[in-house]
Amino acid sequence: MVSSASAKWAFLAPVLVPMLAQAGMRPELVQAAYRVGDSCTNPIAPLNAYLVIILVAIRRWQPDAGIGTLIALLVPYCIAALVTWTAFLVAWESLGIPLGPG
């Protein structure tokens, strides 16, 4: 149960990077793909620190709203972000633009 994106990457990188390198993926592409997926699911993650703050704001207009209501409202935005960022990543790779320095 790690809520920080950089801490999650610190735990997962030693496994993901070598494993996907054997499958032919470059380390910078692995990290970019991880960032795309992680950033799209962070708004609906129960460990998101801002979830409670957003819930308090929603309850101003809809007093019976709960965590389920909030997540249901956020899911379409998460899906749209996932589709958009994935399209950007695929386009970036297809054009051959380097993801990192060098």
Task: Per residue of the chain (102 residues), give pLDDT as tens.
Answer: 676 777 888 888 899 889 999 999 888 899 899 899 988 988 888 888 888 899 999 999 999 999 999 999 999 999 999 999 999 999 999 998 888 776
Report pLDDT for 95: 94
| Number of C-beta neighbours around residue 78 at 10 A | 17
Report pLDDT for 99: 85
Residues 6 or more apart whose Cβ sits within 8 Å of residue 49: 3
Phi, psi of 97 (to 5 degrees): -75, 130
With 0-12 / 13-18 / 19 or more C-beta atoms within 10 angstroms meaning exposed / middle / buried, residue 35 is: middle
Report pLDDT for 3: 66
Report pLDDT for 46: 83
Report pLDDT for 9: 83
Rounded Cα–Cα distance for residues 87 and 76 (Å)? 17
Furthest-apart CA pair in the chain: how many Å? Answer: 53
The answer to whether the pTM exceeds 0.85 is: no
